[in-house]
Structure 1
Amino acid sequence: MLLLLSRTLVLMLFIASLTMNFTAHSTDVSTYLPNGAKYSENVPTPESSLGFGIGERHPRHDQVLHYLQQVATVSSRVNIEEIGRTTQFRSQVLLTISSPENLANIDQILARRADIEASAKDPVVVWLGYSVHGDEISGTNAAMVVAYHLAASEDKAVKDMLNDTIIVIEPSLNPDGMDRFVNWVTTHRGITENPDPNHIEHHQNWRTGRTNHFGFDLNRDWLLLSQKESQNRIPYFHQYQPNVLGDFHEMGANGSYFFQPGIPTRTHPLTPTKNTELTQLLATYHAKVLDDKGRLYYSEESFDDFYYGKGSTYPDINGGIGVLFEQASSRGFQQETVNGLLTFEYGVQNHVLTSLSTIEGAWKNQAEFKAYRKDFYQLAQQQASDENFNGYIFTETKDNYRLKVFLNKLQQHQIKVYPLTQDYKINDITYIAEQSYYIPLAQAQYRVIKALFNQQKNFQDNTFYDVSGWTLPLAMNIKFAQVGRTWGLKTQDLPWQPSSEKTLKTVSSAYAYVFEWHDFLAPKLLHKLTSAGINTKVATKVFSATVNGVTKAFDKGTIIIPAGNQNVDNWRNISSDFAANNQIPLIALDTGLTVKGIDLGSSSFRPISTPKVLMVGGKDTSQYEAGEMLYYLDNLLEIPVTVVEMQRLTAVNFADYSHIIMVDGKYGKLNGLVFNKLKSWLTSGGVVFGQKRAARWLSDKELLKMDFVNKDHIDQLFDTEKLTYSDKESLAGRKRIAGAIYQAELDTSHPLAYGYQASELPVFRNSTVIMEQTTTPFISIAKYSHAPLLSGYTDQNLVNRLANNPTLVAHNVGKGRVIASTDDLAFRGYFLGSMKIIANSLFFSKAFNARPAE
């Protein structure tokens, strides 16, 4: 027994020694807080809950939540609320921190936020959001320190501040990405700290913790609202309406510390000049605390304040001041940099310092921030009245899903939209009342409306950190127009509100059922049907049939479910249920003899097969574009996609799949064996879809019969003879397409364009991968118009080079098909207008026959 105890003690001591080595840089919370400050013993410290100190190791999201819940339980200064769940079902939470008296009246205080006069004497609101990029985790750790400090401090100044301030803390904006990163670092860190930048700890696999479940950058989604995390947050943002929002990030290891203002010429013109002045005021507080610690920092450099879809810019069109903070990242626990050894704890402390300086600056200058918010909305009303038009009208007559998604996005941004009560004609286009809506500019969200509908193409500074064009109705292919005079425009008195809708089930002994392809969710319904073994066909020619005694025309792309060749029991009820669940009308036809066009037994109705999709992923492919494809196919359409990394393709039997998707990436590393397999599979009947550089690779391998513009040719478009060294950055910006919206002209007769009524389709381009014009007939499905730029910046030399060039092509390769696009068709999950081309490539790839010239 003594021997057993002795061995146990030795083992425990051995484990303890390992732990001590592993946690050589551990520290308690006092290390991050003001010297000599006193704290209540009733509030637990982070280390007492986590079992390790801040900066000692990376806590998981559940550990962070557990600690913050403990703090909220014991502190009368802290409320915690779940605002939603992520795709992986992790909790998103907000902490509201203020004096006990303010928290007791928080509902009344927040109810007054919409009335600026009524809320003038209420506390100033500061929102601190951390680690929207899940691998920039110093922010989440700083959030725990800040929460502890505000909850436990016995300092009179802190108590006074809490009387006048409401602090909202979002400790992790991206819980799924955060835990992906934590698991990576925890798996690969050693017992002994290793600062070597080449160590695997600092190099995450595909996909990184930066993104959410679907691979989206959530710091680009505040305006677009395609992702669940953003949709969960936005109602609370508008409930609190923060005067100041701090957005805490990390950057490359060789940086120092950045806080806004950013580059002055790269601020969006909708942002008032006073916004920059107040940001500079706050900057003096950040500089002071960092100066006191001897920390390196910089401002007014590198980062811009242009795109409103980021956490630091969305407040700028909502009456607040958004401030970006960027800490040089150890991307692990420590890393050698040009500035010496960078430790994780160092980064956490910087974010703690500027979190507290943000609160202090807002508190001590609260009168200015409140006055700014009041002036912001008053000025918006004045600017709206100064416009040469009164509002926007928009419509979508065929696709109820896209229309309702568009309306919901506007409603989430607190924009008031009014349904038309009678038809209205403008620019020779009649807007039908039942599917048309009006947005007056004269409302509180004037600037948000302008940001979403604006089609600016000329800018003071043409270098962009992010996209330069993001016009929402263009992205969603919603027809819209400016309304000058509102004479004759009749709308409902109350704004539109979401309502539940249910398509009635259709169950009868019909000869056949049909549904039209123009609805966004039609591919989802088709996949449900074919997966259930229900036989379907697509119309490759138009026809008309009698429906309830009235002749109705059906476009190409209409799906037919014939009764005569079904082998699934109860298929009528199954089909009806699927259609009702997707709110798509299922139309019953009583006869196979049509009024006009092809009859239902015609060979022009082509059978549809269930696609089996493989997507190439992993290192060297774009995690963003792969995520967009997965979001569209897997999340919106519920079509399963098998993702296979490049290095595993050798072992995969391509014959198990009908389609292979290749998003943007570097495919030069694919070996000869994989290429030969791909070519053999393709010529035997497979379908490959290549996007951007994948398309160019297919061309290089002579599978795609298209030529591409090379880099030297693009360089020759720009005259560099008189440029000086200071023009280098400007020239690089001119040669780059950071992100702009273009107009493509569709061949709507082609199966890959089924579902589109108009030939004009806005598409998103963010690369200089350009196809050359072709004289081969029938292979070009979409080309850019003669003046294609619709929104955002592109140098005119590149616009001219793109004009009339193809952007979507497809042709036969043996028995198979190759389809290629130079646009990002599912960009950021909100380009609903061009997404259907992807679905058409899955279902209708064998419905066309186009052989290129050899």
Structure 2
Amino acid sequence: MKKPLLILLLGFIMAAGSFAQSSYYFPGESFDPSIPSPEEFLGYPIGEWHTRYDLIVKYYEKLAEVSDLAELKTIGYTHEHRPKIILTIASSTLLGNLEEIRLAQLQLADPSQPKPDVSAMPSIMHLGYGVHGNEPSSAEAAMLSAYWLLASQSELAQNLRKNAVVHFDPTVNPDGRDRHSQWANSNKGFPPVADPLDREHNEAWPGGRTNHYWFDLNRDWLPLAHPESQVKIAWYHDWYPNVTTDFHEMGTDGTYFFEPTKPYGSENPVVPRKNYDDINVRFAKYFAEYLDEIGSLYWTKEVFDNSYPGYGSTYPDIQGGLGLVFEQASSRGHLQASQRGDISFAFTIRNHVRSSIATMEAGLDNREYMHDYLREFFQTAVSEGAKDPAKNYVFGDQFDPSRNSLFVKFLMDHKIKVYENNADLSAGGYDFKSGKSWIVPTSQPQYRMVRTMFEDVKEFADSVFYDASAWTMARAYGMPFAANTTVKTGNLLTEAPSQDYDFPTGKAYAYLIDWSDYYAPKMLFDLQEAGVHVEVINRPFTSKTQDGETKFSAGTLIIPSGFQKLETAELKDVLEKLAKKNKQKIYATTSGMNLEGIDLGSNLVGSVTIPKVIMVVGDGVSSYEAGEIWYLLDSQVGMPISKVNSDDMGRVNLFDYTTLILASGNYNSFSENFQNHLKDWISRGGTVISMKSASLWLNDKEIIKEELVETEETPEPESLPYAVQRDFEGAKSVGGSIYMAALDLTHPIAYGYQRETLPVYRNSTIFIKPSKDKYLTPIRYTENPLLGGYISDSNLEKLAQSASVIISPVGRGRVINFYDNPNFRGTWFGTNKLFLNAIFFGDMMD
């Protein structure tokens, strides 16, 4: 390895602003004076302030403006409309041929194409920073690293510009970044305060880690719920970088972590061993040398997970590249006391700068090797897929075209090839209809992603998980699917299926809307907002419509023509426009007398109340769950939700709302007066939707009376070695796994579902007995519920005796208790409707 810098060993403790930038970050370096350093551009040394994202963008714009070796591209925008940018640095020759280079990289990743001459191809590197907004050192390092590559006169920098294309993403999570930067800067002391209890080091809820909707974007590379991830993955598949970095921060008392991660236990099952046993080891030597030179402490092969495919450091491993996670002990502000002394913001930045340069050198030295590996990865994917007993996966829900479309688009966004299914067939206990089902072959370059989408994993090298232990995306979408050995495919899809329906003509006694489609709730809320009176039919029936004799399930919506404030022509116009917008089929009937089942004026038909929803947020409440709920209602329903801080609830009159949502959390901050108000409101007809630990709080306050599952525990050893504590105790948790639940299809919580079983996601050890009322446990687990992921034998025994959803009557009201998470990470489309049913039909559930 080359010695890129003349390194001076500097002390660990360093206060920001007390040093010259070049001598601290780049001692002994010379730079092109025409390229402004970050300090020159910003007017302060890096590390003295947390730089706002708009200034980071402006600095990158300046680099692209003053140098023909830099090119800036906006690839999309965040929820708060901050630009998502990529700065590309390479020689003017390489930049002038950037499109040809990109196409050659795509050809290399396509085993059906001739292999390009890798000796003539530059290394493609992607340096990504700042996915967690309150891990701020990396975004500052992004400015310094780009400056070094562009302006350094060192031999290494010159060789990199000549033989590599380096893409910088300075902040994966701009919205969270600015939320944290504002906090740290506005609470900074002069001089800085190192006390960990100081306000600067303790952000207000929800903190800057997450994006606008309080989602952890380092879990979103797989689900693609948010625009930041969607545009990033689209960009990624335009380039297939050989190396991708993912810079983080950890607790202040730590040191520095780089890969390899924990062998086997922290590794993804579809990634080739070569990635872990060879490539990671090659690169680790560079990181060690660069940190050795400045005396920084570090560690490897422990704790940090590399198994979940949605990490920024794992997804590239499943795409033929090398994903690298780095963790730096955080100052969480400008200066903070640690067990080794005061750690400064500048010190944390410097370590990430060192790792950035080390990554670039390692990538350059292994340029041809990594290109060969990229081709090898996709070649072996095709050959391994051809050997898989499952030659294809067939999937499709004949009752829900919108969810089909969402899942097909999701697969295609991950570059998985999807084909039409041209034949009716039965497999895996499901019926798949031609035109309403699709086929995914296993023998394709994205075979390892196909496994990620469809394969249930139940065997693990470890029983302790940093994150989820199951991620089968077909389960998350509630998608019927089955492995097949003989199915033939139709045409390759180039876009996701879409549906358009003709609006019925002529006079209508009433209009009907099937509740099975994923976007039926959005259609309902749009109708209510437009002033249309809507009712729900609570039993199955058969009616004569424009399609002839048509069967409908319980939960079907009815829009009676005779009970509307809108004139007939206006009603039809509103219905037609909203049906087209939401891709919903409208049925018309000319009579209230049905062919089978109840009639349209039955007492089992009732109006649907327009929801007015309030959710408690703030200290003690899970920001992740609250954000998932907020995002669901915003993005999938278009329904406003009032988010009220827990310490403001004493000012709330709950009688102004139909529904109160309590995400998991601790609600002991509620005053006794508000608790009494809450009990009174529920007993007079209010609906509470309660998640996991919130239900335990309601139980503790005797608002509801449900019982915990109690089993005879297996005796534990009287003594164990201290060193095994983490593994032994950690194995008792449920970090995130998938189970099969049984639905009562006659209950309003299950309206829109056509099958009696449904995959659900659980990430808690709260086990509650079914209700003593035999009618009020509409969702419970099947006899052998585990579909994928890890759970201990004792917890599985408790789960078998537990409920997934319980309705707890309270006077004329009710609490709807969810003990699983139906909205997990914005991607559990299969269970979202359970939660939406609780909102729209909650007053019918007891």
Q: Secondary structure at the match of 2:295?
A: coil
Distance 1:434 1:223, change over 3 A: same
Partner of 1:200: 199
What residue in structure 2 maps to residue 326 of structure 1? 327
Residue identity in the other structure for 2:72: I
Counterpart of 1:143, as a letter, is A
SS at match of 1:643: strand
Please say if residues 770 and 806 of structure 2, whose CA atoms lie closer than 8 Å, have aligned partners that are also in contact: no
Structure 1 residue 56 displacement after superposition:
1.1
Aligned: 1:561 with 2:559: yes
Distance in 1, matches of 2:168 and 2:24, equals 18
Q: CA shift at 1:272, angstroms?
A: 1.5
Aligned to 1:604: 604
Match of 1:263 in 2: 262
- Cα displacement string for residues 796-819 of structure 1 (whole angstroms, at most 9, x for unaligned residues): 221121114211011421111111
8 Å CA contact 1:177–1:211 kept in 2: the answer is yes
CA shift digits 1:753-789 (9 cap, x unpaired)? 1001111111111010110244421110101111111
RMSD between aligned alpha carbons? 1.7
User: How far does residue 493 in structure 1 lie from its aligned partner after superposition?
Assistant: 3.5
Shift of residue 730 of structure 1?
2.1
Structure 1 residues 452 and 720, CA gap change in structure 2 (3 angstroms): farther
For residue 98 of structure 1, the aligned residue among 81, 90, 103 is 90
Distance in 2, Cα, partners of 1:390 & 1:756: 29
**Structure 2 CA distance, aligned partners of 1:432 and 1:499?**
14
Could you list the runs of 5+ residues in structure 2 that have no partner in the other structure?
1-14, 109-114
Please report how far the alpha carbon of residue 184 of structure 1 lies from its aligned counterpart in structure 2 after TM superposition: 1.2
2:810 corresponds to which residue? 813
Residue 721 of structure 1, CA deviation: 4.2
SS of aligned partner of 1:807? strand
- Residue number in structure 2 paired with 1:589: 589
1:67-466 aligned at under 5 Å gives the runs 67-116=59-108, 117-118=115-116, 120=118, 121-266=120-265, 267-276=267-276, 277-427=278-428, 429-466=430-467
Give the Cα–Cα distance (whole angstroms) in 1 for the partners of residues 723 and 185 of structure 2.
44
Give the direction of change, closer, same or farther, for the CA distance of 1:365–1:842 in structure 2 (3 Å limit): same
**Partner of 1:9 in structure 2?**
none
Q: CA deviation at 1:549?
A: 5.8
- For residue 24 of structure 1, report the CA deviation from its aligned partner: 6.5
Corresponding residue number in structure 2 for 1:8: none
Paired position in structure 2 for 1:638: 638
Deviations 1:310-336 (A, max 9, x none): 001111111011110001111110100
1:794 matches 2:794: no
For residue 107 of structure 2, give the secondary structure of its aligned residue in structure 1: coil
Pick closer, same or farther for the CA change 1:834–1:530 going to 2, 3 Å: same
Partner deviation per Cα, 1:817-836 (whole Å, 9 max, x = no partner)? 11101101100000011111
Give distance in 2, aligned partners of 1:571 and 1:725.
Answer: 71
Gaps of 5+ in 1: 1-22, 850-854
2:496: which partner in 1? 498
Aligned to 2:549, the other structure's residue is in SS state strand
What TM-score do the two structures reach when normalised by structure 1? Answer: 0.94
Q: 1:673-692: per-residue Cα shift (whole Å, max 9, x none)?
A: 12101001101111001110
Cα offset, 1:723, TM superposition? 4.0
SS at match of 1:846: helix
Q: Following the alignment from structure 1 to structure 2, what is the Cα–Cα distance between the partners of residues 435 and 406?
A: 12
Structure 2 contact 16–47 (Cα < 8 Å) conserved: no
Question: What is the Cα deviation at residue 500 of structure 1?
Answer: 5.9
- Structure 1 counterpart of 2:834, one-letter code: I
Q: How does 1:27-46 map to 2 (within 5 A)?
A: 29-46=21-38
Structure 1 residue 155: deviation in Å?
2.6
1:428 Cα shift? 5.5
Shift in CA distance, 67/563, structure 1 to aligned 2, threshold 3 Å? same
Q: Are residues 1:25 and 2:25 paired?
A: no
Query: Take 1:369 and 1:265, find their aligned partners in 2: how far apart are those partners?
Result: 22
Percent identity between the two aligned chains: 37
- Match for residue 751 of structure 2 among 750, 754, 757: 754
- Distance in 2 (CA, whole Å) between partners of 1:617 and 1:34 is 45
Give SS of 1:655's match. helix
Alignment pair present for 1:728 and 2:720: no
Amino acid in the other structure paired with 2:408: L
**Matched letter for residue 261 of structure 1:** P
Partner AA of 1:345 in structure 2: A
Q: Distance in 2 between matches of 1:492 and 1:359?
A: 44
Could you say which residue in structure 2 is the equivalent of 1:571?
571
Partner residue, 1:520:
518
8 Å CA contact retained: 2:769, 2:801: no
| Alpha carbons of structure 1 residues 719 and 595: separation in structure 2 relative to 1, 3 Å | same
Per-residue CA deviation, residues 114-171 of structure 1 (Å, 9 max, x unaligned), is 2221262311111111010011111110000011111112233322222211111110
> Per-residue displacement from partner, 1:474-504 (whole Å, max 9, x unpaired)?
11100001112x2xx3322423423665444
1:484-541 superposed Cα distances (whole Å, 9 cap, x missing partner): 2x2xx33224234236654444565311111111111111111111122211100001
Q: What letter matches 1:103 in structure 2? A: L
Kept in 2, the 8 Å contact 1:28–1:47? The answer is no
TM-score normalised by structure 2 residue count = 0.95
Shift of 1:722: 6.5
The separation in 2 between residues aligned to 1:807 and 1:157, in whole angstroms, is: 58
Moved more, 301-310 or 323-332: 301-310
**8 Å contact kept, 1:97–1:151:** yes
The farther-off stretch of 802-811 and 659-668 is 802-811
Name the SS of the counterpart of 2:562 in structure 1: helix
Contact 1:538 1:560 in 2 (8 A): yes
Letter of the 1:824 partner, please give it: N
Q: Secondary structure at the match of 1:177?
A: helix
Correspondence for 1:837: 834
Does the aligned pair in 2 maintain the 1:109–1:119 contact within 8 Å? no
Is the CA contact (8 Å cut-off) linking 2:106 and 2:239 kept in structure 1? no
CA distance in 2: counterparts of 1:396 and 1:26, whole angstroms: 63
Q: Give per-residue Cα distances to partners, 1:246-276, cap 9 Å, x unaligned.
A: 1100111111111010111221222222112
Rounded to whole Å, the distance in 2 between the matches of 1:787 and 1:669 is 40
Change (3 A) 1:176 1:721: same
Preserved contact between residue 685 and residue 843 of structure 2 (Cα < 8 Å): no
1:553-608 CA-partner distances (Å, limit 9, x unpaired):
11100000111110135232122211210001111111212111122122211111
Q: 1:559/1:718 Cα in 2 relative to 1: closer, same or farther (>3 Å)?
A: farther
8 Å Cα contact 1:502-1:581 kept in structure 2: no
More deviation, 408-417/803-812: 803-812
Distance 1:26 1:516 in 2: 68
Q: In the aligned structure 2, how far is the partner of 1:103 from the partner of 1:549?
A: 59
Q: Which amino acid aligns with 2:672?
A: G
Query: Are 1:25 and 1:56, in contact at CA under 8 Å, matched by a contact in 2?
Result: yes
Q: Distance in 1 between matches of 2:742 and 2:499?
A: 34
Once the two structures are superposed, residues 582-639 of structure 1 have per-residue CA deviations (whole angstroms, 9 ceiling, x without a partner) of: 0011111112121111221222111111111010110100000000000111221111
Give, in whole Å, the separation in 2 of the partners of 1:430 and 1:807: 27
Amino acid at match of 2:761: F
> CA offsets, 1:377-425, max 9 Å, x none?
2222232233222121111111111111111111011100101122233
Q: How far does residue 427 in structure 1 lie from its aligned partner after superposition? A: 4.2
For residues 263 and 80 of structure 2, what CA distance do their matches in structure 1 show? 39
Q: Secondary structure at the match of 2:307?
A: coil
Does structure 2 retain, via aligned residues, the 8 Å contact 1:123–1:164? yes
Residue 829 of structure 2 aligns with an amino acid whose one-letter code is L
The question of whether the paired residues in 1 share the 8 Å contact of 2:546 and 2:587 is answered with no
Q: 1:549 to 1:189 in 2, by over 3 A?
A: closer
Which residue number corresponds to residue 10 of structure 1?
none
Per the alignment, do residues 31 and 212 of structure 1 end up closer, same or farther by CA in structure 2, a change over 3 Å counting? farther
| Matched residue type, 2:544 | T
Residue 845 of structure 1: SS of its match in structure 2? helix
Matched residue count: 821
The whole-number CA distance in structure 2 between the counterparts of 1:369 and 1:549 is 58
Give how far 1:698 is off. 1.4
